[in-house]
Structure 1
Amino acid sequence: MSDDMRQMLLDTLLPVLADHCTAERVQAAEAGGFDAGLWQVLDELGYPLAAVPEDAGGIGLGLADLCALLRLCGQHCAPVPLAESQLAAWLLARAGLDLPGGVLTLAVTTALQTLQPGATGLRLTTNLSRVASARHADGLVLLAEHAGARYVVRLTTDELGIEPGNNLAGEARDDVRIDTTVPPARYRRLTQGPDAAELEARAALLRAALMSGALQRVLQQSLDYARERRQFGRPLAAFQAIQQQLAVLAAEVVAAAAAVDHAAVLAGHGPAPDAIAVAKVRSGKAAGIACRIAHQVHGAMGFTQEYSLQHATRRLWAWRDEAGSEAVWARRLGQHLAAAGADALWPLTTGSGAMAD
């Protein structure tokens, strides 16, 4: 995609988010984290289909451009499951299944009680935990792996048993029970294309992109507050200790964004699970440091419900554990490095094709 087209998409999205993601509206969406009005506008503009190829009715964005859009969403704490819906629509298109429209969510599972194709359809029985916005979705797209077989399945809401739950940021994270037979038109067996590991990595990258946007918001709010708030006759920003902490915060934000951008570029040319692992680990580490500094700079004000800093920091605390925590991705990264052997350590960690299989 050309730079002009990318900029047009960002320029179109920015005022939409600015208008709809005010502190009052984000706070109002707290119970379940969904703003139907914002979703309707995004849907009309085609953003939920941003990752779907143009010949399948989408915009055809690559991962780098997609991450740029999601960074804006994270920066505005947009209370909609846009990343999940984009990834679900992309998976449907890859499987050659119809795109139903509306809000989609996504799940990956290798733990199934039943996954059995038959004359009337695919018999499917499983439990899913903490599915993003299942109760707000019009459909759930499931990548299921079982006994060497891999299926993409589109489920409707009436096929789901939903137990509502929320994460720390008030976003819907619902437990789902599936016990149904899915007709042939709504599932495909994959012989090539994304497997569970690739889809989990892609979800982690999109989550890290959202985190990098929320980190930018935390930094900007902290800078603004330090300039405006006065103590002992001077702005907080005039104190050397505050300046030092803000410099650390800024460095963490830049490091996380750079890791996400690097992983997005590599993953846009092929599987890059280790670069994505670095991005998710680095974003999670930055989140912990940034939230601590931001709340120290703000003092008691930052913890109040009326002040919007908590919209970003609570998302960062929640998102660092979603799509794989730092520990999960660091373990995968370490296992790959260990398996590659001592002679491969240096080229793997310094090469431009870092960690590619």
Structure 2
Amino acid sequence: MFTEAIEKILSDLCTPARVRAVERADSAATLWSALEDSGFLELLTPEDAGGAGLALNALLPIFVAFGRCALPVPAAQSIAARALMRDCPSAPPAGMLTLAGTAHRQPDGLLCVPRVAFGLMADFALVNLEGQLLLLDCSLARRQPTGVHGSQCATLYWSQDSLGSAIGNNGEEVRVFNAAIHAAAIAGAMEQALAMTLEYCNDRVQFGKAIGKFQAVQHQLSVMAEQVAASRIAAELAFVGDSQVPPLMATAIAKARTSMAVPQVTAIAHALFGAIGVTEELDLQLFTRRLHEWRVSEGSETYWNGIVGQALLTQPNVTACEFVRHVTPSPTA
């Protein structure tokens, strides 16, 4: 029910034209207000607190839909922030909340939070600082864009006197939840890229027939479809279980596998579109640019594969298959 309602809003308000407008620094207020006023930011909030009280597995298709539409606002992060602030004495503030799983103090005393998703537009950031949970006002930060065309990601700097006190000790959950969000978004954006590529290959005629009829093209499409399917299955791992926060090991596998698929999926998509595939006018770049950005957000496959590998090496008598079966939650859990 919630998925269909959100997808209706996205189809009406999150069009490619609107995504491009937000990338040009136009206001995203209408889109954000539609999501906020409909109560969709409270999907993880318990019912007795006025929320929907959804389980993690119910969130997956919603977060995938956000990726499939290249949603240019931090809706998934704002939903997760409310779950991460579950034990905090104060309620989450109004406005756009984003997540930042890594922060460090510089020699000059500034707190540096690198590559914050939606850092250019967020009102507040929920930040992990060595395990402590900080809620920081982004209007007090110096925002440094990444320089990538259309990206809303930025590195943020806060002075010491603007930090305040920690609001919890579950800061490490921020990195895990944000990685799970990016895994789901990657899966959704890949599904859209595959759908666009299939449609083009069926419509584009060369040598008297659709290029999708040529065996070489079919081979590339099958490789692309395999990677997209594997990514969706991997993303599902992070959203299985009855906890409010995705489990670490399942999320590590999900983020690693989805990030690994990005280079191959994006390369095939652009190759099959040919010359038009590299143009700004084609909607494909709205998704492939984000896929490359999300691949490294909260750590690329190298980082998360390292987490999984270290855990496996602590159990020398356990095979890889046995390890995966035991560290990933069952769908019936």
Q: Which residue of 2 aligns with 1:188?
A: 167
User: Take 2:82 and 2:246, find their aligned partners in 1: how far apart are those partners?
Assistant: 19
- The Cα of 1:154 is off from its aligned counterpart by 2.4
Amino acid paired to 2:11? A
Q: Which residue of 2 aligns with 1:140?
A: 125
Counterpart secondary structure, 1:136: coil
- The Cα of 1:39 is off from its aligned counterpart by 0.9
User: Take 1:168 and 1:85, find their aligned partners in 2: how far apart are those partners?
Assistant: 24
User: Take 1:82 and 1:268, find their aligned partners in 2: how far apart are those partners?
Assistant: 20
User: Take 1:354 and 1:41, find their aligned partners in 2: how far apart are those partners?
Assistant: 34
Do the aligned partners of 1:162 and 1:176 also contact (CA within 8 Å) in 2? yes
The yes-or-no answer on 1:223 pairing with 2:198 is: yes
The yes-or-no answer on 1:129 pairing with 2:114 is: yes
Q: Which residue of 2 aligns with 1:241?
A: 216
Q: Which residue of 1 aligns with 2:293?
A: 318
Sequence identity percentage = 32
Cα separation, partners in 2 of 1:108 and 1:295, compared to 1, 3 Å: closer
- The Cα of 1:255 is off from its aligned counterpart by 0.7
Q: Which residue of 2 aligns with 1:154?
A: 135
The yes-or-no answer on 1:347 pairing with 2:322 is: yes
- The Cα of 1:11 is off from its aligned counterpart by 1.0
Q: Give deviations 1:90-123, integer Å, cap 9, x for gaps.
A: 2223323212211112223463469xxxxxxxxx
- The Cα of 1:277 is off from its aligned counterpart by 1.4
Do the aligned partners of 2:180 and 2:246 also contact (CA within 8 Å) in 1? no
User: Take 2:324 and 2:132, find their aligned partners in 1: how far apart are those partners?
Assistant: 34
Do the aligned partners of 1:32 and 1:133 also contact (CA within 8 Å) in 2? no
Runs of 4+ in 1 over 6 A off after TM superposition: none
Q: Give deviations 1:179-223, integer Å, cap 9, x for gaps.
A: 225667xx5343xxx341x33122111110001000000110011
Q: Which residue of 1 aligns with 2:20?
A: 27
Amino acid paired to 1:278? I
- The Cα of 1:130 is off from its aligned counterpart by 1.8
Do the aligned partners of 2:183 and 2:258 also contact (CA within 8 Å) in 1? yes
Counterpart secondary structure, 2:296: coil
User: Take 1:95 and 1:275, find their aligned partners in 2: how far apart are those partners?
Assistant: 26
Cα separation, partners in 2 of 1:33 and 1:302, compared to 1, 3 Å: farther
Q: Structure 2 unaligned runs (5+)? A: none
The Cα RMSD (Å) is 2.6
User: Take 1:32 and 1:63, find their aligned partners in 2: how far apart are those partners?
Assistant: 32
User: Between Structure 1 and Structure 2, how many residues are aligned?
Assistant: 329
Q: Give deviations 1:254-293, integer Å, cap 9, x for gaps.
A: 1110111123114748763222111111111222111111
Do the aligned partners of 1:32 and 1:171 also contact (CA within 8 Å) in 2? no
Q: Give deviations 1:331-351, integer Å, cap 9, x for gaps.
A: 111111112223464521344
Q: Which residue of 2 aligns with 1:171?
A: 152
Amino acid paired to 2:55? G
Do the aligned partners of 2:23 and 2:151 also contact (CA within 8 Å) in 1? yes
Matches within 5 A, 1:31-46: 31=24, 35-46=28-39
User: Take 2:207 and 2:97, find their aligned partners in 1: how far apart are those partners?
Assistant: 52
Question: What is the aligned counterpart of 2:52 among 50, 59, 66?
Answer: 59
Do the aligned partners of 1:93 and 1:99 also contact (CA within 8 Å) in 2? no
Cα separation, partners in 2 of 1:135 and 1:239, compared to 1, 3 Å: closer
Q: Structure 1 unaligned runs (5+)? A: 1-7, 115-123
User: Take 2:54 and 2:148, find their aligned partners in 1: how far apart are those partners?
Assistant: 29
Q: Which residue of 2 aligns with 1:105?
A: 98
Q: Which residue of 2 aligns with 1:297?
A: 272
Cα separation, partners in 2 of 1:348 and 1:264, compared to 1, 3 Å: same
Cα separation, partners in 2 of 1:66 and 1:354, compared to 1, 3 Å: closer
Amino acid paired to 2:57? A
Q: Which residue of 2 aligns with 1:86?
A: 79
Amino acid paired to 1:43? E
- The Cα of 1:37 is off from its aligned counterpart by 1.7
User: Take 1:139 and 1:269, find their aligned partners in 2: how far apart are those partners?
Assistant: 21
Q: Give deviations 1:139-169, integer Å, cap 9, x for gaps.
A: 2223333xxxx54332334432333345455
User: Take 1:327 and 1:10, find their aligned partners in 2: how far apart are those partners?
Assistant: 32
- The Cα of 1:29 is off from its aligned counterpart by 1.8
User: Take 1:33 and 1:260, find their aligned partners in 2: how far apart are those partners?
Assistant: 31
The yes-or-no answer on 1:207 pairing with 2:182 is: yes
- The Cα of 1:54 is off from its aligned counterpart by 2.6
User: Take 2:273 and 2:113, find their aligned partners in 1: how far apart are those partners?
Assistant: 39
Q: Which residue of 2 aligns with 1:281?
A: 256
- The Cα of 1:77 is off from its aligned counterpart by 0.8
Do the aligned partners of 1:222 and 1:298 also contact (CA within 8 Å) in 2? yes
Amino acid paired to 1:144? L
Larger strand share, 1 or 2: 1
Q: Which residue of 2 aligns with 1:16?
A: 9
- The Cα of 1:244 is off from its aligned counterpart by 1.5
Do the aligned partners of 1:266 and 1:353 also contact (CA within 8 Å) in 2? no
Do the aligned partners of 2:249 and 2:327 also contact (CA within 8 Å) in 1? no
Q: Which residue of 2 aligns with 1:265?
A: 240
User: Take 1:267 and 1:338, find their aligned partners in 2: how far apart are those partners?
Assistant: 27
TM-score, structure 2 as length reference = 0.89
